Amino acid sequence: MSLIFSAKRFFSLLVAILIFSTSFASVHEVEKVEKFHVGNMIMHHISDAHEWHLWGGHHDGVSIYLPIILMDGGLKTFSSKHFYHGEAVHTMDAAKNEHAEYVLGVGPAAGYAMFEEEIYKLGESGKLEIKNGAVVDAKSPLDFSITKNVLSLFMGAILILLILSNVARFYKKHGAVAPKGIAKYLEVLIVMVRDDIAKANIGEHKYKKYVPYLLTIFFFIFINNLLGLVPFLPGGANLTGNITVTLFLAVATLVVTIFSGNKNYWGHIFWMPGVPVPMKIFMMPIELLGVLTKPFALMIRLFANMTAGHVIVLAFIGIIFINENAWWGGLSVPMSLFISVLELLVAFLQAFLFAMLSSLFIGAAVEEAHH
C-alpha cells in the first residue's frame, strides 16, 4: 500500500513539474494556458452535477438531464435542462478580478438561477450578486434534486442488491456446494470478509452479527469504486470521492461501534483502570476524542485516495490541451493508463481497509476484560 501512495506522490509531482515548466516556456505558452484551465476541467469532472454529460461540447453535447426537485412554497419539479440551456449571465467579480457566470432558468425553472451547480431563488432584481466567488444575499430553496451522485448511489445500491441476492438464492437453494455462476466469483470475497476481517478482528464468538454490515460496506465501496473508473457510464460518478458519502459511511461505523460498546470499552475511555485519578481526568477527553477521530480518518482516507486517482488521470490528459500538441499524448496517455490500472488495485484496497478498520473498531468495543 505504501508503494501505491509513493507512486501517486511521484506522479502528482511529475504533473506539477510539467505544468509549471510549460507555463514559463514562452509568452505564447502563457496565452495557451489561459485558454485552457486544467483546474476547472478537473473540478468539473469530479464534482457533482444536475446533468450527466456523456460527450460533446457544452451546448451541443449529449447529456442526461436529471430532475430538479425543490420545496419552495410547495413542491416544484422540472428538468435540469431548463438551467443548462437557459440564459447565461456574466458578471464581473471585482474582488477576484474575473468574470463569473450563472444561468437563469427558463420555463418551469423561471425565477431561479444556478451558479456552480447550486440553485438560488432570484429576488426582484432577477440577478445574483457574486463576490469572492460566492453568491451574496440570495436564498436557496430546499433542494432534493436527483444529482449525478444521487443517481449513481441508487444504481450502485440496486446493482449490489441484484448481485448479492442472486448469490444468496443460490446458497439457499443448493446449500454448501461448489458455487456456480456469479457465486463462484464472489465466494472468495465473502469468505475473506467473514474470516479475515470479521472473525479475525471481532472474535470467534461475536463476529457473526457484524458480518452483514461489513459485507455491505465492503461491496458498496468496492463496486462504486469500480464504477467511478468509467465516469461516462450512468452509475459511474465519482461517488466514493464525494466527502458527503464517505462521511455517512464513517458515521455508520461510528454508530455501530458506539452501540456495540460494552462496560469494559467505556470503562477504558471514561475511567481507565490502573491509572492515577489525576491522569484519568486528563486522559478522559483525549480518549473520547479518539472515538471520533477514528471514523474521521476512515472518511478522509477513502475520499482522498479515490479523488487523487481521478485528479492525476485528468491532469495527465490536460497536459495535451495545455500545450496544444498531440505529441504530448505519447507521455500523457501511457501514464494515464498506468494510473487507471493502479486504480483497480486501489479500488479493492480502499474497500478492504474500510471494512477491516471498521471491524477493528467494533472488535475493540465488544472485547471483554482480561483478568
Whether residue 220 contacts residue 212, with contact meaning beta carbons closer than 8 Å, is answered with no
102 or 325, which is more confident = 102
Rounded CA-CA distance 190/50 in Å is 35
Give the residue-averaged pLDDT of 127-155.
88
**pLDDT of 289 strictly over 60:** yes
Q: Say what the pLDDT of residue 17 is.
A: 40
Instruction: Tell me the average pLDDT of the chain.
Output: 82
- Does residue 192 sit in helix, strand or coil? helix
**pLDDT of 236 strictly over 90:** no
Whole-structure pTM value: 0.82
Q: Give, for 344, the enclosing helix (H) or strand (E).
A: helix 329-366
Give the residue-averaged pLDDT of 35-56.
77
Q: Say what the pLDDT of residue 14 is.
A: 43
**pLDDT of 32 strictly over 50:** no
Q: Say what the pLDDT of residue 70 is.
A: 93
pLDDT bin (cut points 50, 70, 90) of residue 53 is confident
pLDDT bin (cut points 50, 70, 90) of residue 68 is very high
Q: Say what the pLDDT of residue 60 is.
A: 67
**pLDDT of 227 strictly over 70:** yes
Strand stretches in 178-269, DSSP E: none
**pLDDT of 93 strictly over 70:** no
Whether residue 319 contacts residue 23, with contact meaning beta carbons closer than 8 Å, is answered with no
Give the residue-averaged pLDDT of 178-196.
90
* % of the chain exceeding 70 in pLDDT: 85
Cell of 178: 461448489
Work out the burial of residue 19: count CB atoms within 10 Å of its CB; fewer than 13 is exposed, 13-18 middle, 19 or more buried: middle
Q: Say what the pLDDT of residue 319 is.
A: 85
pLDDT bin (cut points 50, 70, 90) of residue 234 is low
pLDDT bin (cut points 50, 70, 90) of residue 11 is very low
Helices and strands (H, E) in the chain, number of each type: 12, 11
Give the residue-averaged pLDDT of 262-290.
81
CB atoms within 10 A of CB 370: 5
SS3 string, 310-337, reads HHHHHHHHHHHHHHCCHHHHHHHHHHHH
> How remote is the C-alpha of 71 from its chain's centroid?
26
Give the residue-averaged pLDDT of 177-187.
86
187 or 277, which is more confident = 187
274 or 147, which is more confident = 147
Highest mean pLDDT among 23-27, 47-51, 243-247: 243-247
Q: Say what the pLDDT of residue 350 is.
A: 95
Q: Say what the pLDDT of residue 22 is.
A: 38
Contact partners, residue 77, CB within 8 Å, separation at least 6: 67, 68, 69, 70
**pLDDT of 119 strictly over 90:** yes
b (16+ CB within 10 A) / e for 148-164: bbbbbbebbeebbeebb
* % of the chain exceeding 90 in pLDDT: 34
